[in-house]
Amino acid sequence: MPRRASAADRLFALLLHLLPHHLLSKGMYWLARWEWRPFKDAMIRGFIRLYRVDVSEASEPDAGAYPCFNAFFTRALRPAARPFAVDDYTLACPADGSISQIGAIEAGRIFQAKGHRFSVRELLGGDAALAAAFEAGAFVTVYLSPRDYHRVHMPLAGRLTEMTHVPGRLFSVSPSTTRTIPRLFSRNERIVSLFDTPAGPMALVMVGAIFVASMDTVWAGPVTPASRRSTHWHYVETPPEESVALDRGEEMGRFNMGSTVILLFPKGGIEWRESLGPGRSVRMGEALGRITNSRGQAQ
């Protein structure tokens, strides 16, 4: 049974409503990049102890070798640390974390937690035509905790067609706030990347959170426009030499501090693994499902 919001959950949500999200996140941005050795070493080692981070998986296991905390937080892994699922018809998990929710998009809405849903249209920045492409489709929400690997990789090979930065709040996206704050993921700042893939259109949404002062993509770097309106970039008519095509497993972006990734697929595009469900821990590269053909049969 889904866990109900507790009194502590509601109190935490109230506190979050009162905090200056963006001011705190800007402060964390500078602290995380401060290269004064005594400070950054203490911050990194304290973080490792607090969250029991397995540094042996990192390509650089020496915590003192990182120039600042953010470099450690967005650390690369050893190539063998995250083997990818075996074939191109397998949908691979884009990040380390745990599944918040997984399932079908119903009546244009996505299940967040007991008593809470949000619309695909709102999540994607208000684009009705784009939202229609995912009507009766499939979604998965993956929550990245502070201890997790924070680079995001392609679950399928894809060609970038559109990117949208949607400004918003920076509520925490922990399980506690997911249970208590309505429409959490469609209220927070986010980057929506749309790809053309073998499963049809795929929306990969990187959702910001408190202390996430910026989100990066490999083609645009940090995506933090100052405008309070949504900002769109279109890549359909980009010259071939400038187009963005990423292979399955390639890095597509990263969070500077932790957050959430949401994947959307059209109707009949994906068949989820039956063993997956809310609360299930997952690792980047792990199989989440299979690409299906137009008749809905697994490839």
Domain boundaries, the chain: 19-73, 82-291
Q: For 116-132, what is each residue's pLDDT tens digit?
A: 899 999 999 999 999 99
Q: Can you give the pLDDT at residue 294?
A: 46
Question: Among 153, 172, 186, 214, which one carries the catalytic annotation?
Answer: 153
The identity of residue 205, as a single letter, is V
| Residue 259 bears catalytic tag | yes
Question: Among 96, 127, 148, 216, which one carries the catalytic annotation?
Answer: 96
- Structural contact between residues 131 and 124, judged by C-beta atoms closer than 8 angstroms: yes
Q: Tell me the backbone φ, ψ of residue 108, rounded to 5 degrees.
A: 75, 15
Could you give the CA distance from residue 84 to residue 111 in angstroms, rounded to a whole number?
28
Q: Which two tokens stand for residue 264?
A: 């959307």
| Residue 127 bears catalytic tag | no
Q: For 132-188, what is each residue's pLDDT tens digit?
A: 999 999 999 999 988 899 999 999 999 999 999 999 888 878 788 888 888 989 999
Element (H, E) at 179: helix 175-180
Nearest to 125 by CA among 171, 177, 169, 168: 168
Q: How confident is the model at residue 260 (pLDDT cuts 50, 70, 90)?
A: very high
Q: Can you give the pLDDT at residue 228?
A: 65
Question: Among 25, 186, 193, 259, which one carries the catalytic annotation?
Answer: 259
Q: For 50-103, what is each residue's pLDDT tens digit?
A: 999 999 999 999 999 999 999 999 999 998 899 887 688 899 999 999 999 999
Mean pLDDT of 211-235: 79
| Residue 96 bears catalytic tag | yes
182 sits in the region (left: phi over 0; alpha: psi -120 to 50; else beta) called beta
Q: Can you give the pLDDT at residue 295?
A: 42
